[in-house]
């Protein structure tokens, strides 16, 4: 027994158990065949995961990640159609996946973004547009610029990945958690004037992004908006 009336420090294992682990749900949206299931499988073997991985009901996969000294759980859902989502308790983040070698999957990704916008989820939730299969460069049908333009139009983040060669998969995993944490720090006020502006300026945003895209093509200098949408470490 310790004397002096002081409290003994918790053993390391007990101290870790005392820390709160915040759980988040991430839905992967996109057409069949774009690699959503394979991407989740790669997440399960990422070097970024902490301690364990486990499979939950309905095929959902959960990993524990230690980032910046804080542990969080991410549960990934493979969602065939965004209309299946629980609107009363939506996921904390959405990764909309398309294949860069399939224009139809890109159109599907745009449809999913529109659905999320109509459900008023783009403001309050993390949304990342991910173009998969960039290792198939000779078969590319969707340019990087088109992907960025779509992401910027809907104020989503953008990244190109290859599940097949494990390119940018860890970056996407860390980016998802980082974006969720940054979003949670934002003060959301539905009555704020900017809330109305979000919708009123949608057409302007689309025109603006097209103009920025054209500027990039003409002058070979990438617009700052395009650069920022690829930075998963800032909002």
Structure confidence at residue 27 as a pLDDT band (50, 70, 90): very high
Query: Could you tell me if residue 116 is inside a domain?
Result: yes
pLDDT of residue 224: 62
Sign of the C-alpha dihedral computed for residues 110, 125, 119 and 199 taken in this order: negative
Q: Which residues contact 197 (CB under 8 A, 6 or more apart)?
A: none
Query: Could you tell me if residue 148 is inside a domain?
Result: yes
pLDDT at 14 over 90: no
Query: Could you tell me if residue 6 is inside a domain?
Result: no
pLDDT of residue 2: 44
Query: Could you tell me if residue 14 is inside a domain?
Result: no
CATH number at residue 175: 3.40.50.300
pLDDT of residue 35: 96
pLDDT of residue 205: 47
Query: What is the percent of the chain with per-residue pLDDT over 90, rounded to a whole number?
Result: 57
Query: Could you tell me if residue 11 is inside a domain?
Result: no
Condensed to tens digits (0 to 9), the pLDDT of residues 95-135 reads 999 999 999 999 999 999 999 999 888 888 999 999 999 99
**DSSP letter string, the chain:** ---SSPPPPPPHHHHHHHS--EEEEEEEE--TTSSHHHHHHHHHT-TTEEEEEEE-GGG-EEEEEEETTEEEEEEEEE-S-GGGS-SSS--SEEEEEEETT-HHHHHHHHHHHHHHHHTT-TTTSEEEEEEE-TT-GGG--S-HHHHHHHHHHTT-EEEE-BTTTTBSHHHHHHHHHHHHHHHHHS---TTSHHHHHHHHTHHHHHHHHHHHHHHHHHHS---HHHHHHT-TT--
Q: Which residue has the higher pLDDT, 6 or 161?
A: 161
As a whole number of Å, the CA-based R_g of the chain is: 20
Range of the structural domain that residue 134 is part of = 21-184+200-229
Query: Could you tell me if residue 74 is inside a domain?
Result: yes
Phi–psi pair at 128, nearest 5 degrees: -125, 130
d(C-alpha 61, C-alpha 179), whole Å: 19
Total Cβ atoms within 10 A of residue 202: 14
Condensed to tens digits (0 to 9), the pLDDT of residues 39-78 reads 999 998 888 776 445 545 446 899 999 999 999 999 999 9
Q: Rounded to two decimals, what is the model's pTM?
A: 0.79
Total Cβ atoms within 10 A of residue 37: 16
Give the total number of structural domains in the chain: 1
pLDDT of residue 126: 96
Query: Could you tell me if residue 4 is inside a domain?
Result: no
Query: Could you tell me if residue 72 is inside a domain?
Result: yes
**b/e per residue, 77-113, with b = 16+ CB within 10 A?**
bbbeebeebeeeebbbbbbbbbbbbbeebbebbeebb
Query: What is the percent of the chain with per-residue pLDDT over 70, rounded to a whole number?
Result: 71
The torsion region of residue 140 among left (phi > 0), alpha (psi -120 to 50) and beta comes to beta
């Amino acid at each position: 027994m310790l004397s002096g009336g002081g409290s003994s420090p918790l053993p390391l294992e007990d101290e870790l158990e005392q820390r709160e682990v915040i759980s988040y749900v991430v839905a992967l949206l996109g057409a069949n065949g774009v690699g959503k299931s394979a991407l989740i499988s790669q997440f399960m073997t990422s070097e970024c995961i902490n301690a364990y991985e486990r499979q939950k009901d309905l095929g959902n996969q959960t990993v524990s990640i230690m980032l910046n000294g804080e542990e969080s759980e991410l549960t990934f859902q493979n969602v065939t159609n965004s209309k299946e989502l629980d609107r009363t308790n939506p996921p904390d983040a959405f990764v909309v996946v398309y294949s860069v070698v399939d224009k139809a999957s890109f159109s599907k990704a745009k449809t999913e973004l529109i659905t999320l916008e109509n459900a008023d989820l783009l403001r309050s939730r993390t949304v990342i547009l991910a173009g998969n299969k960039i290792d198939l460069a000779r078969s590319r049908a969707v340019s990087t610029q088109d992907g960025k333009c779509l992401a910027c139009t809907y104020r989503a983040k953008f990244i190109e990945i290859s599940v097949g060669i494990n390119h940018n998969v860890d970056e996407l995993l860390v980016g998802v958690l980082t974006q969720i944490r940054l979003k949670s720090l934002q003060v959301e006020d539905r009555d704020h004037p900017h809330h109305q502006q979000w919708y009123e300026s949608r057409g302007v945003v689309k025109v603006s992004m097209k103009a920025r895209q054209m500027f990039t093509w003409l002058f070979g200098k990438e617009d700052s908006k395009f650069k920022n949408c690829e930075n998963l470490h800032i909002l």
